Amino acid sequence: GENVEQHPSTLSVQEGDSAVIKCTYSDSASNYFPWYKQELGKRPQLIIDIRSNVGEKKDQRIAVTLNKTAKHFSLHITETQPEDSAVYFCAASFKTGNQFYFGTGTSLTVIP
Amino acid sequence: DTEVTQTPKHLVMGMTNKKSLKCEQHMGHRAMYWYKQKAKKPPELMFVYSYEKLSINESVPSRFSPECPNSSLLNLHLHALQPEDSALYLCASSQDVGRPLWDEQYFGPGTRLTVT
């Protein structure tokens, strides 16, 4: 089955620095890659997604890059702020249905 | 309305109780999902309904019984649960535009379930 690996599991950065979270996937048929942010006690919220027909997508301070050949995709957050502190999950679509494989999550802490 | 709502927010139940979780969306989405999430872990898919029909059951024990009365509502009936079933239960919905296209899943706030 599909396997999505996510690294690092925890990440601490100083406010204003950049944060990068990386995921790799195994199913070459995966073609949709969302990123979710989950604050403590709250629901996962979609922050950005990318489809396999593009290599990069940007939305203000957040960007996602996709390398289909290498089967990895990354989340980049620039000019981090304390409110970016949360757990971030990557996901990859599964070929046979409305399913995502979620990565194991990255706990990001932005130190003021 | 771009929200998925869930009730109740919190639920404590004994192992012999029967209870139900409810989920509602008014975005016209045709796919609805139940996930289970343990602390510090990713959501685990339990069930998927597509156009009100159960399309995926991820080998979930029969003590969890989903129901989709109409395209806006999704229920999860609980019976004879175990303490290890304590978790955050998340509902989600999406357009279901059909493979190979994909669309965003929107999550509800979840029901925090404790089984005693």
**B92-116: per-residue pLDDT in tens?**
998 866 655 567 889 999 999 999 9
Give the pLDDT confidence score for residue A28 in this predicted structure: 85
Output B98 or A68, whichever has higher pLDDT: A68
Q: How confident is the prediction for chain B on average, in pLDDT?
A: 91
Chain A hits for B30, CB-CB cut-off 8 Å, are none
Output B103 or A58, whichever has higher pLDDT: A58
Give the pLDDT confidence score for residue A44 in this predicted structure: 94
Chain A hits for B98, CB-CB cut-off 8 Å, are none
Q: Which residue of chain A comes nearest to B97, CA vs CA?
A: A98
Q: Which residue of chain A comes nearest to B43, CA vs CA?
A: A102
How large is the average pLDDT for residues B46-69? 92
Chain B hits for A103, CB-CB cut-off 8 Å, are 42
Chain A hits for B40, CB-CB cut-off 8 Å, are 87, 105, 107
Q: A36: pLDDT confidence band, cut at 50, 70 and 90?
A: very high
Q: How confident is the prediction for chain A on average, in pLDDT?
A: 92
Percent of chain A clearing pLDDT 90 (strictly above): 79
Q: Above 90 in pLDDT, residue A31?
A: no
- Do the Cβ atoms of A87 and B106 come within 8 Å? no
- Do the Cβ atoms of B31 and A98 come within 8 Å? yes
Q: Is B66 on the interface with A (CB under 8 A)?
A: no
Give the pLDDT confidence score for residue A1 in this predicted structure: 58
Q: Above 70 in pLDDT, residue A110?
A: yes
What is the DSSP track for chain A?
---EEEE-SEEEEETTS-EEEEEEE--TT--EEEEEEE-TTS--EEEEEEETT-SEEEETTEEEEEETTTTEEEEEE-S--GGG-EEEEEEEE-TTSS-EEEP--EEEEEE-
Give the pLDDT confidence score for residue A98 in this predicted structure: 66
d(CA A26, CA A93): 11
How close B2 comes to chain A (CA, Å)? 12
Q: Above 60 in pLDDT, residue A97?
A: no
Give the pLDDT confidence score for residue A112 in this predicted structure: 95
How close B92 comes to chain A (CA, Å)? 10
- Cα–Cα–Cα angle for B5, A108, A95, rounded to 5 degrees: 60
Give the pLDDT confidence score for residue A2 in this predicted structure: 67
Give the pLDDT confidence score for residue B56 in this predicted structure: 82
Q: Is A10 on the interface with B (CB under 8 A)?
A: no
Across the interface, of B42, B56, B108, the residue whose CB is closest to A102 is B42
Cβ contacts from A onto B, under 8 A: 52
Give the pLDDT confidence score for residue B102 in this predicted structure: 64
Q: Above 60 in pLDDT, residue B22?
A: yes
Q: Is A45 on the interface with B (CB under 8 A)?
A: yes
The three-class DSSP label of residue B23 is: strand
Q: Above 60 in pLDDT, residue A96?
A: no
Give the CA dihedral B6, B10, B15, B21, nearest 10 degrees: -10
Q: Which residue of chain B comes nearest to A33, CA vs CA?
A: B102
CA A110, distance to chain mean position in Å, is: 16
